[in-house]
Structure 1
Amino acid sequence: MFDTFRNAWKIPELRKKLLFTLLVIVIFRIGCVITVPYINPEALQLFAGGTGNMLDYLNMMSGGALSQCAIFALGVTPYINASIIIQLLTVAIPALERLSKEGEEGRRKLTRITRYTGAGIALVMSVGYYLVLRSYTGVLAYTTGWEGIFSAVVIVFSFTGGAQLLTWMGEQIDFKGIGNGISLLIFAGIVSRWGNVITTARTMITNAMNGEIKYFILIPVIVILALAAIVFVVILTNAERRIPVQYAKRVVGRKMYGGQSSHIPLKVNMSGVMPIIFASALLSIPGTIASFIQTDSPIWQGFFSVFNYNSLLYAVLYLLLILAFNYFYVAIQYNPVEIANNLRKNNGAIPGIRPGKPTSDFITKCLSKITFVGAIFLGIIAVMPIILGNVAGMNIQLGGTSLLIVVGVALDTGRSMESYMLMRHHKGFLE
């Protein structure tokens, strides 16, 4: 990875792309500390950490900007949600499905629809966040009268405009930078929050030096598990099942076409981090509701305690939801019948499998096995930090999500730089 970056820096054109990407990331981090008008930063005590609710999750995704009520408080979450919604609707709505098959022009229209949907989601989230701020005393400068209305409009549109500006910045990285812009902005936000990890490690070392025996065992165990998790994520992120495909020979005029062998790559972790995001968002809703409802009823307190991320039932529900969302996401992404039909149209066949329905059944069977392995992999990565956090007494319930995003983006960016350098420095046919 470091060798790839060093070699990429030697290429002037690629160096300009890297500098542009770094410039956008710096602007993003500056916007994460600029508080919007009419908000008292000293009164912001919304995210003490460990709440396990939706706000804690969004704060992680925005790189801490949400806890600062910064311009980029919403991050790229509205655009991600819009992309997921449009992707799901493409399967259900025929008009969107036709657009997805119209090539470059259709993709441009879908991107425009996604932007408008993201703007609407950002506006709704901004209003909701303003209502959250309004429920805290001393955070807003004005809450009543014309001053309150004007400040509410300014705050809501500042959050909405910041989300749209951040989406535009991510798209500029796609055009003028290197890697996926939206993913890199999420990567930068998550890495910026890793200072808390250093603080936690320092606290554990201090406790060990003060004579607490358990930390002499806990610190090496955590380090070994962290390194093993990183290696585990890298291996299974790149792992894939290759289904061999043989194309039949055919004669057209005096030329013979086909006859070559290929394969259908099926990645073990096809859905990426999306099932974890869906499951986290769904399970964080009760915790978010509990933060607004102040009740002494033992029934409600018992109900909300079930969804505390420290509980065993939360970990079980988390694992089951990840499994369910992983199967659902793969089902809408891959159509075995369509793959089998495309193979038959191109005179291709899987060795030992008859074309048509037997081929689609075979691909479905392979997808089911791979999806199960990928779901178990995601479940281990997501649930293990919860178990480790309970043992160590630390707040790392979002560690699995962060690790998957960081490793995935780093690998994707490295592949982008390698492919660009390969395109620029291939030896050609005459050497």
Structure 2
Amino acid sequence: MAAAKGKALGSTGKLTELRQRIFFVIGALVVYRLGSFIPVPGVNPDAMTNLIGQSGGLLDMFNMFSGGSLGRFSVFALGVIPYISASIVVQMMGSVLPSLQALKKEGQAGQRTLTMYTRFGTVGLSAFQAFGISMALMKQSSGGMPVVYMPGYGFVLSAVVGLTAGSMFLMWLGEQMTERGIGNGISLLIFAGIVAGLPGAVTHTLGMANNGELSVLKLLMVVGLVLAVTAFCVFMERAQRRITVNYARRSGGQKAYMNQTSHLPLKINMSGVIPPIFASSLLMFPATAATWFSAGSQSHWLQNLTQMLSPGEPTYDIVYSLLVIIFAFFYTAIVFNSQETADNLKRSGALIPGIRPGRSTAEYIDAVMTRLTGVGAVYLVLVCLVPTFMQSYWHVPFYFGGTSLLIVVVVVMDFTAQIQAHLVSHQYEGLLKKANLRRS
């Protein structure tokens, strides 16, 4: 009776831990959404909203990533983009600089140092972007109204401090969600910003269908496209190339272990959503700068650059595709080391049938990974550009861009996988405790 009661209390406690983690994530997302409505002082909200609507293109996409914070010019207007950019830069430098490579091998101590560098980089990028945005907004007007009420160094200082503090708070909030919640906190913040405008988009689309502005055929096409792209993303994100691995016969005491066969799983899309995000970030800065600083000037090349780097334009599609492919290969090379994998297999007494251990194994794994990355890069380009083609050429009111839909699908899959992992670990702990009680 007492054992059954203790088991029930133990399982209740485990479920309570998972429930607390989920509630913590929900509470953090509520704080994030409330903070996105706190404006930076000195900005005319109506003029800012009109400016974002008139600019369109990449600014609209950036505004969607931030959950509408840019359109309201709230303290969270920069979102987590500075943190993502800083972390990518630190990872890239870690594969080039020997000092940072040594830090990676130091375990937790080295990781804390790299995290500190990422935080410093986030502060610098946030302050730089906030300064550029505030200086540009002082020169803007929309609908005959100036965007900034009282331009001057006072506004620039308040904007830099407010936006930088907002980005640092989001960085801290994301780290807390990762540590005390479920899933990756930064990805969940991006996910929350994207889906925040989904109810309004669905309502607007249904209103267009009721008014006759959108035909039933196009509405069904949008629904079918969403379902097809979502299913395709789920299939590709779960797809793996399994390399057969044989473990040599080993002897332990009086027992001999026969040859064992296992698999080395390699994901098709090892880089995740980093290539589309980073490609969008790189394309966003020149187009945004050209949009801001070409106002009232005679520089026609800036206006041409703005036009060419707008989503839906052939130049944008080509450059975006090339950047996604380049970053897919580059980021995969950073996160996956074929030589290190081959060395680990050799130390554990494992070998790939028909391939010699050591350098030959590393070359074989690298060749397989190169082909997989090529397929994954093409998959990312297709997913990111198909909705754009639907919007640009068929004028289909599709709220999600390809990058946004990919982020939503990957984050939801990761979140559900983390929940399942927690449940499995709790069940495993219960089985171990039960086995120990039986042995005793």
**Common fold: TM-score over 0.5:** yes
Q: 1:312 to 1:425 in 2, by over 3 A?
A: same
1:129 to 133, 137, 143: 133
Which residue pairs with 1:108 in the alignment? 112
Map 1:238-249; keep pairs closer than 5 Å. Answer: 238-249=238-249
Change (3 A) 1:322 1:168: same
Tell whether 2:18 aligns with 1:37.
Answer: no
Contact kept in structure 1, 2:249 and 2:258, CA below 8 Å: yes
Q: CA deviation at 1:365?
A: 1.7
- CA drift of 1:332 comes to 2.4
Letter in 2 for 1:89: M
Q: Is the 1:309–1:397 Cα contact (8 Å) retained in structure 2?
A: no
Aligned in 2, Cα 1:204/1:315: closer, same or farther, shift over 3 Å? farther
Could you tell me how far 1:370 is from its partner in structure 2?
A: 0.8
User: Does residue 1:59 correspond to 2:68, yes or no?
Assistant: no
1:21 equivalenced with 2:25 (yes/no):
yes
1:225–1:17 Cα change, 3 Å: same
Aligned equivalent of 1:428? 431
Q: Are residues 162 and 300 of structure 1, via their aligned partners in 2, closer, same or farther at CA, if it must alter by over 3 Å?
A: closer
Please state how far the C-alpha of 1:388 moved relative to its aligned partner: 0.3
* Aligned residues: CA RMSD: 2.6
Find out whether 1:142 has 2:150 as its counterpart. Answer: yes
Q: Could you report, residue by residue, the CA deviation over 1:106-130 in whole angstroms, capped at 9, with x for unpaired residues?
A: 1112112211111111111111121
Partner in structure 2 of residue 226 of structure 1: 226
Deviates more, 1:243-252 or 1:93-102: 243-252
Offset, 1:313: 3.3
Partner of 1:3: none
CA contact (8 A) 1:238 1:267 kept: yes
Per the TM alignment, residue 256 of structure 1 is displaced from its structure 2 partner at its CA by 5.1
Amino acid at match of 1:96: L
Distance 1:305 1:43, change over 3 A: closer
Match of 1:367 among 366, 369, 372: 369
Contact in 1 for aligned 2:135/2:156 (Cα 8 Å): no
Identity between Structure 1 and Structure 2 (%): 38
Note the residue ranges of structure 1 that are not aligned, 5 or more in a row.
Answer: 1-6
1:366-425 Cα shifts (integer Å, max 9, x gaps): 112211111111011011011100233257596111111111111111111111112223
Contact 1:52 1:287 in 2 (8 A): no
Q: 1:319: which partner in 2?
A: 321
Cα offset for 1:281?
A: 2.4
Contact 2:183–2:415 (Cα < 8 Å) also in 1: yes
Deviates more, 1:26-35 or 1:415-424: 415-424
CA distance in 2, matches of 1:363, 1:300: 45
CA distance in 1, matches of 2:39, 2:257: 64
Of 80, 100, 106, which residue of structure 1 is paired with 2:84? 80
- Cα 1:397/1:303, change in 2 over 3 Å: farther
Deviations 1:136-190 (A, max 9, x none): 24232322xxxx3333222210110111111111111122222211111111111
* TM-score (structure 1 length as normaliser): 0.89
Match of 2:273 in 1: 273
Question: Would the aligned equivalents of 1:119 and 1:164 in 2 still touch at CA under 8 Å?
Answer: yes
| Amino acid of the structure 2 residue aligned with 1:242 | R
AA of the residue aligned to 1:249: R
* Matched positions, count: 416
Tell me how far apart the structure 2 counterparts of residues 46 and 257 of structure 1 sit (CA, whole Å). 70
Matched residue type, 1:46: L
Residue 67 of structure 1 aligns to a residue in which SS? helix
Aligned equivalents of 1:408 and 1:97: distance in 2?
29
Return closer, same or farther for 1:342/1:316 CA change in 2, 3 Å cut-off: same
Kindly indicate whether the alpha-carbon contact (under 8 Å) linking 2:222 and 2:396 is maintained by their aligned counterparts in 1.
no
The superposition leaves residues 65-109 of structure 1 with CA deviations (integer Å, 9 ceiling, x where unpaired) of 111111111111111111101000100111111111111111112
2:249 paired with 1:262: no
Matches within 5 A, 1:262-411: 262-291=262-291, 292-294=293-295, 301-394=303-396, 399-411=401-413
Q: d(CA) in 2 for partners of 1:172 and 1:302?
A: 44
Task: Give the whole-Å Cα distance in 2 for the aligned partners of 1:384 and 1:286.
Answer: 24
CA contact (8 A) 1:8 1:14 kept: no
Measured in 2, the distance between the counterparts of 1:186 and 1:125 equals 18
* Aligned partner letter, 2:51: L
Displacement of 1:358 after TM fit?
2.2
Offset at residue 352 of structure 1 (A)? 1.8
Contact 1:340–1:355 (CA under 8 A) maintained in structure 2:
yes
Which stretch shifts more, 57-66 or 117-126?
57-66
Find the aligned partners of 2:163 and 2:192 in 1 and give their Cα distance: 19
Q: What is the rounded CA distance, in whole Å, between the counterparts of 1:26 and 1:318 in structure 2?
A: 33
Change (3 A) 1:329 1:12: same
Structure 2 residues without counterparts, runs of 5 or longer: 1-10
- Contact 1:58–1:66 under 8 Å retained in 2: yes
Aligned partner (choices 50, 53, 59) of residue 48 of structure 1: 53
Query: Kindly tell me: are residues 49 and 84 of structure 1, through their superposed partners in 2, closer, same or farther at Cα, counting changes over 3 Å?
Result: farther
- Alpha-carbon distance in 2 for matches of 1:299, 1:162: 34
Cα gap change, 1:224 to 1:394, in 2 (>3 Å): closer
Rounded to whole Å, the distance in 1 between the matches of 2:94 and 2:160 is 30
Query: Which region of structure 1 is more displaced relative to structure 2, 316-325 or 88-97?
Result: 316-325
